[in-house]
Structure 1
């Protein structure tokens, strides 16, 4: 799928976000290796630590459906400020994706594409647990 099309899907997910505390609405879309797309939005909780991030929700829905290989992730916010996945989301993505995973981030005037390896170098892997 073209990055712009995946961003459009992520942008739609922004509209379903529940963010009454931060008022920062985020949507994400993840494309699997077979072209299936799953979306997620942030869902806040008054204690913040129980909040769910858009990228994690999209990834979780894909994994629940049996997918383990991914092509790219798109992230957007209601502010179109070029938001990137936070460190926790990057680590979650690294569980299933290699350093080459494309992460497309929407800014107001432009779109920036990163690789997971650029955003999270020297990630923690299962090899560190041995």
Structure 2
């Protein structure tokens, strides 16, 4: 297995830094009653996306033909787990609380797409 041409710890650290910045910006605009939901959403998205980034950065060369499927699988798992946990925790999401979920989810998906594109650009698909 080849060593990645970029530092996975740096890429994951940049992602976590972006999430912390977004969290504090979002916290400034969210009402206090949404803080628990916001903590949960940011933590959940940060954990799942960090696992995705770790796997894709270390196993991207080995599974280069399946990277797109891994991305789609993690996106599906992320939404499914969120909805299952939301159901079991009894969280009702109103329109005013939607941004507390959507902002970290959207930021995570955009970062996943950028990293996946970067990895695919660097891989050679010649057998």
Report if TM-score (shorter chain) is over 0.5: no
Based on CA coordinates, which of the two structures has the bigger radius of gyration?
A: 2
When normalised by structure 2's length, the TM-score is 0.29
**Which structure is higher in helix share?**
2
When normalised by structure 1's length, the TM-score is 0.29
**Which structure is higher in strand share?**
1
Which structure exhibits the higher relative contact order, with contacts defined as CA atoms closer than 8 Å and separated by 6 or more residues? Answer: 2
